[in-house]
Structures are given as C-alpha cells and as structure tokens.
C-alpha cells in the first residue's frame, strides 16, 4: 500500500544531515487533483508520488513540466513528452496482442474501463481491423450490480465465451466475483486479464526515489531548497533550478524490483522489462511464457512432472464422462438402490472399471450434462457435449460407444 511504501522510503533514506529537509518526499497522494498538488508544491516538495485519473493527468503533467518537479506514478501509461513524469507501469498493448494471437482468438469481447485511457483499446481495434477479428468492446466504467448481470446474460445469449478484461484491480476483482457468482467460469469460458499488481509498482516507485536521492547524496550534489518554494498558480511559472538534477537522478536509477527490471528511457517510460504470462486451469496456475520488447511472446516448456504421474493418479478421484446408450451404458433397473458407479451397467461401464484397475486410479462415472457426444461451434470455436467436458477439464477420460 502507499502508507507502507512511505514507511519504506523513510527507512531507506536518512535526511538528518540535509539542512533543508524535503517535506514532500514521502507525500503519497492517492488520486491527485489541483488543490492537493498546489498544496504540496507550496511546501517545497522535491518529488511527488501518486496516482492520477484520466481527467487529471494533463493538468498534473503540465504542472510538473512547468515547475521542474518530478512526478512518479504507477497509474496507467499515457502519451506525454514531459521528461518530469516517470511512469512505472509498462505499456501492455503489444503484449496483450501477442497473447490474443497465441490463443488464436478471432472473435471475442473486450471489457475495459474508460477511466484508464483508451490507448490499449485503440491498439486492439486497429489490430482487429488488420486481422479481421470480430471484437465487441464494452465500457464498464459506470456499470452497476444489475448491469453486470445483464452484461453476462447478453454474452451468454450471443454465445460469447472469449473475454479480455482490461480494468484496474478494484474493478477487476468485482468482475471476477461476478463471473464466479453467475457461474461464467465453466465449460468453454476463457478470460485474458490484462492487469499488473499496483502494490508491486508502488513499492518499486518509492524505491526509485530512495535510490535516486541516495545517489545524489553520495555525489554531494546540492539540492537544497532555498528562496521561493514555487507557486503553481503563478503566471508565468518559475521552474526550480535543481529540478533537472533530480529528474536526471531518477531517470538513471536501475535495479531489480518487485515488478522486475526497473529502468527508464529518455521519455520516462519503463524499458528492458519482461512480462510473465500466467495461465490458470482446473489443476492450478502455471507460467506458459514471457514477453519483452525484443523477443515478443516466448512460450516456455511445460514441466509435466512425469515422474510423479502415477502417484498423482492414485491420490485423486477423476470424473469419467459418458452418455446413456444401450448396450454400452445403462441404468440398472434397480439403480435407486445403489450409489455411485454401481448404478450403471454395460460394456463401457465394465471397460472403465478395467482401465481404472489396470492404471490404478479412483473414478466417478457421470452422465454428460447436455446429453451430447460433442461438436464444435463454428462461431465461438468451443466444444459442447462429452468432448467439451474433456477439452475444458471437467472430466478426465471419457468412455462411450464411438
């Protein structure tokens, strides 16, 4: 959190030997607007760390550029040539496009929050036009509880099961809870979450300031505030003379942080960074690849852990999907007197028992939910029936009369 990051900053940087202590170095402002920013400027701050919203970002960058006071932020990246703005969050649009291409999505829904800016959306739509993708963009900035329910009802009605979610963490958590509550995380539903952990970026941002000011102190560069602390409402604004030294020190910082390699280019943006692509399935989370500016998306080999395969089989109970059809799988005449697999009889029932006995695993027979063998929908590219349950991890093997 921001408060924990501020404590870390005070611990790392000791200004007791600086005659003119910078009061605003640990000022971490949740969402910046004109009054608090002007208040901090008037106190003679050396740098400001905080978040912005779309409606305030232009004002903030203008103030920082005019007064030569650096602004370090983990908020969504914006297009700016202002050298006094350092953006901790890497741009994700190219990485997102690579992941979409990796999964060969041709038709999907893009859920976004307009308050983050529209650069990622524009990149997705431009790429969609080039590659003939069918993209439905949905802005959920003002979506209510009922709105989420209606949204997912519409997606189900249109058989939209491939979804990209590009929102801040708070709204993303709401969406994920709705997905689970409305049971939109089952057969055939796939989601790409385009988000980074703000807490990790926050810590790295505070460390950027700590490293920069420690370097300035080691170089014995005089950055003491003297005379007028600055007035952001003055016309014309008078820039702070030492501001360029601090800007240069911040931009030159380089270290391995919680969000990977932290390094900035001449425009104040992250460079030489690596994004990890993580996939979650029914059996857990695994890394499927990484993305960087030079190599783009690089898939990694999946560790199948074949040495532990037999042990894993013995310690789990698997669902075996099948379908009722004489004489392969039938309900016994007195099935209500039995439980579990004992309710069924037929060739495939005996086959499943023999396979389990030979391999050495526990299983539970279940009749396919939709009563179908399985076919691929030409529009959504998803499978239904027994094949769908196998493909999407609902069942382990399947037995039937094919």
Residue-wise pLDDT for 201-238, tens only, equals 999 999 999 999 999 988 888 776 654 555 666 677 77
Helices marked H in 132-234? 145-157, 169-181, 198-218
Given this model, what pLDDT does residue 266 score?
92
Q: What backbone phi and psi angles, to 5 degrees, belong to 225?
A: -85, 125
| Banded pLDDT at 293 (limits 50, 70, 90) | very high
Helices marked H in 219-282? 243-251
Q: Are strands 190-193 and 162-166 parallel, antiparallel or unpaired?
A: parallel
Mean pLDDT to the nearest integer, 62-85: 88
Q: Are 141 and 166 in contact (CB under 8 A)?
A: no
Given this model, what pLDDT does residue 148 score?
87
Q: Are 15 and 212 in contact (CB under 8 A)?
A: no
Half-sphere exposure of 343 (CA within 13 A, CB side): 12
Q: Are 321 and 390 in contact (CB under 8 A)?
A: yes
Residue-wise pLDDT for 310-336, tens only, equals 455 555 677 788 888 888 889 998 888
Given this model, what pLDDT does residue 58 score?
83
Dihedral angle, C-alpha 193, 198, 203, 207, nearest 10 °: 90
Residue-wise pLDDT for 8-37, tens only, equals 555 555 544 444 444 444 444 444 455 666
Distance, CA of 343 to CA of 330 (rounded, Å): 9
Given this model, what pLDDT does residue 94 score?
94
Contacts (Cβ under 8 Å, ≥6 apart) of 31:
50, 51, 52, 53, 56
Give the Cβ contact number of residue 317 at 10 Å.
9
Cα-to-chain-centroid distance, residue 108: 17
Given this model, what pLDDT does residue 54 score?
76
Checking if the pLDDT of 264 tops 60, the result is yes
Q: What backbone phi and psi angles, to 5 degrees, belong to 189?
A: -85, 130
Contacts (Cβ under 8 Å, ≥6 apart) of 234:
none
Q: Which two tokens stand for residue 29?
A: 């402002």
């Amino acid at each position: 959190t921001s408060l924990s990051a501020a404590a870390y900053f005070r611990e790392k940087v000791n200004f007791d030997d600086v005659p003119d202590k910078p009061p605003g170095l640990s000022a971490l402002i949740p969402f910046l607007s004109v009054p608090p920013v002007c208040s901090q400027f008037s106190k003679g701050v050396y740098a400001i760390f905080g978040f912005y919203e779309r409606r305030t970002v232009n004002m903030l960058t203008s103030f920082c550029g005019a007064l030569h006071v650096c602004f370090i932020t983990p908020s969504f990246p914006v297009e700016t040539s202002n050298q006094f703005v350092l953006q901790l969050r890497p741009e994700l649009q190219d990485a997102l496009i690579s992941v979409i291409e990796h999964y060969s999505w041709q038709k999907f829904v893009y859920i976004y929050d307009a308050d983050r800016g529209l650069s990622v959306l524009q990149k997705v739509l431009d790429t969609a036009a080039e590659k003939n993708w069918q993209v439905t963009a949905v802005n959920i900035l003002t979506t209510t509880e009922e709105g989420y329910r209606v949204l997912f009802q519409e997606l189900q009605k249109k058989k939209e099961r491939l979804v990209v979610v590009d929102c801040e963490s708070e709204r993303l958590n709401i969406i994920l809870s709705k997905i689970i509550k409305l049971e939109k995380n089952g057969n055939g539903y796939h989601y790409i979450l385009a988000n980074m952990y703000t807490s990790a970026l926050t810590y790295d941002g505070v460390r950027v300031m700590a490293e920069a000011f420690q370097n300035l102190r080691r170089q014995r560069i005089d950055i003491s505030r003297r005379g007028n602390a600055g007035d952001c409402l003055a016309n014309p604004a008078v820039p702070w003379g030492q501001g360029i030294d601090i800007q240069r020190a911040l931009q030159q910082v380089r270290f391995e942080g919680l969000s990977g390699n932290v390094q900035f280019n001449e425009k104040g943006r992250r460079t030489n960074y690596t994004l990890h692509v993580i996939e979650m399935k029914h059996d857990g989370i695994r890394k499927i690849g990484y993305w960087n500016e030079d190599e783009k998306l690089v898939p990694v080999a999946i560790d199948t852990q074949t040495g532990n395969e037999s042990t894993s089989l013995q310690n789990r109970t698997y669902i075996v999907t099948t379908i009722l059809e004489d004489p392969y799988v039938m309900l016994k005449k007195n099935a209500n007197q039995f439980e579990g697999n004992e309710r069924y009889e037929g060739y495939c029932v005996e086959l499943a028992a023999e396979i389990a006995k030979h391999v050495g695993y526990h299983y539970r027979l279940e009749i396919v939910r939709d009563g179908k063998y399985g076919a691929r929908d030409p529009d959504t590219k998803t499978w239904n029936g027994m094949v769908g349950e196998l493909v999407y991890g609902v069942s382990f093997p399947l037995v039937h009369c094919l």
